[in-house]
C-alpha cells in the first residue's frame, strides 16, 4: 500500500493498494468505513452471507463502499493484480473475527 495523503495508521487517509491476482482475504471488518475505486483488474467484496460468486463484480473504474464493522471478504477474480484507491475518515485496520 502507498498512502498519498494522511496517515493510514493514525487517522484519515487516501491510499493506493494492490491485491494479488486470484487472492482472497479471510472474513474481516474495519473500524472505519471506506470508499474505494478499482483502477485495474476485477474483484468482489461479498458481505455477510454472500458468496464470492453472488457478489457484484467490480471492474476498472467501479466504486464501492465498505461500512464500518460489517463482515466481508475481498477477492481478486482477475488474472492480473487488482490496483485500487481507497479513502477513509479513520485509520486502516483489518480485524478477523474469532
Domain containing 51 equals 18-86
CA-to-CA distance for 30 and 72, rounded, in angstroms? 9
Answer whether residue 69 is part of any domain: yes
Is residue 79 scored above 90 in pLDDT? Answer: yes
Is the distance from CB of 73 to CB of 52 less than 8 angstroms? yes
Residue-wise pLDDT for 13-63, tens only, equals 999 999 999 999 999 999 999 999 999 999 999 998 888 888 889 999 999
pTM as predicted = 0.88
Answer whether residue 1 is part of any domain: no
Distant-in-sequence, close-in-space partners of 62: CB < 8 Å, separation ≥ 6: 37, 38
86-98 mean pLDDT: 94
Is residue 70 scored above 90 in pLDDT? Answer: yes
CATH for 22: 2.60.120.10
Q: How many structural domains is the chain composed of? A: 1
Amino acid at each position: 500500500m502507498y498512502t498519498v495523503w494522511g496517515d493510514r495508521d493514525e487517522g484519515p487517509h487516501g491510499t493506493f493498494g494492490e491485491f494479488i491476482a486470484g487472492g482472497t482475504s479471510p472474513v474481516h471488518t474495519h473500524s472505519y468505513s471506506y470508499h474505494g475505486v478499482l483502477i485495474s483488474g476485477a474483484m468482489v467484496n461479498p458481505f455477510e452471507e454472500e458468496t464470492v460468486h453472488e457478489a457484484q463484480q467490480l471492474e476498472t473504474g467501479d466504486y464501492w463502499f465498505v461500512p464500518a464493522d460489517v463482515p466481508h471478504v475481498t477477492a481478486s477474480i482477475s488474472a492480473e493484480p487488482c490496483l485500487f484507491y481507497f479513502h477513509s475518515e479513520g485509520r486502516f485496520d483489518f480485524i478477523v473475527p474469532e
